[in-house]
Amino acid sequence: MAVTLPFRHLEPFGVEIDFDLSQPLGPSLAYHFRELWREHGLVLVRGQRLTMERQRELCALLGPILVREGEGETMTNAGGGPSASPLAWHSDAAYTDHPFDAIALHALDVVDDASSTRFVRAEVALPANLREALEGREQEMISPHYTQLAGRTCDQREPDAMKRGVRPTVLENPHNGRECLWVSELQTARVLDMAWEESRDLLHAVFDRLYAPERVFEHKWRTGDVIFWDNIALQHARGNLESVGTRVLQRVIVGVEGVAPHVASQVEPSSQRRLGSVST
């Protein structure tokens, strides 16, 4: 008889596990942990005290651990600036050919319930007209300038970008075979081969469905919480962190490639490329 982890379903998606993750997971428990993540996209566990080494061991059950040069192991809002700015909906590294597979955040030191991260499933049934409008199309995706992280990038004709890439608007999730919308508020600049106004209006209609309030899971952080999520299946967002007190999260990334420096050259600057008719 297979041994499983005790868990309960969260609304509108995800699961919460009741288990001390500092303890070893035997083969059956490790398999069940991985299957819960694959099926539900988000796994929450409370009251944990995990070292970075242990957090990486758990994440290694989901795929290879990615360590990015120049980044620390913790995320903090100390000092304000971009680290405390609101973030619109996105998936990390979505504008690259190798978006991260999974992310795990562990609250080391936070003011309980003062800050949150919001999640939404990218698997969403669109009305036929919106589905047909996106079918088979590509998009320009960007890593926005750090001063423009809170709004809908598609509302700007020529958004400033740190990096650029061309990606499909719909992507098959390699973890479970399900189709995901790959457009996002933060990273989608426009749908290609479409007038800017038409692209903007289409994206707004899609976003209104994708980010509908009833589809959002909001987690208010407490010290000891840890969340493992599928970065392909889910998008995430957060509010302003300037007035939430101390917020220190330990992060582990699962993936095969960092944000490659060559991504910036995959798409020419807006003034030098044809992205469909753009009205003046």
Domains and CATH numbers, the chain: 8-272 (3.60.130.10)
Q: Which of 124-138, 143-157, 263-277 has the lowest mean pLDDT?
A: 263-277
pLDDT tens figures, 162-182? 999 999 999 999 999 999 999
- Is 273's pLDDT higher than 80? no
User: Taking the complete model, does pTM exceed 0.85, yes or no?
Assistant: yes
Mean pLDDT to the nearest integer, 19-23: 97
E strand or H helix at 168: strand 161-168
Residue 200's alpha-carbon distances to 144, 145, 186, in angstroms, are 17, 19, 13
Mean pLDDT within 150-155 = 95
119 pLDDT more than 90: yes
pLDDT attached to residue 276: 29
Task: Give the angle subtended at the CA of 181 by the CAs of 208 and 270, to the nearest 5°.
Answer: 85
208 or 269: which leads in pLDDT: 208
Question: What is the model's pLDDT at position 259?
Answer: 64
- Give residue 147's pLDDT band: very low, low, confident or very high (50, 70, 90): confident
Which pLDDT belongs to residue 3?
Answer: 85
Q: What pLDDT digit, counting tens, does each position of 181-225 carry?
A: 999 999 999 999 999 999 999 999 999 999 999 999 999 999 999
In the structure, what pLDDT confidence band is assigned to residue 72 with cuts at 50, 70 and 90?
low
Give the tens place of pLDDT for each residue, 219-262.
Answer: 999 999 999 999 999 999 999 999 999 999 999 999 987 664 43
pLDDT at 279 over 50: no
Helix (H, G, I), strand (E, B) or coil at 266: coil
265 pLDDT higher than 50: no
* Tokens standing for residue 103: 């992310």
As a whole number of angstroms, the distance between CA 116 and CA 217 comes to: 10
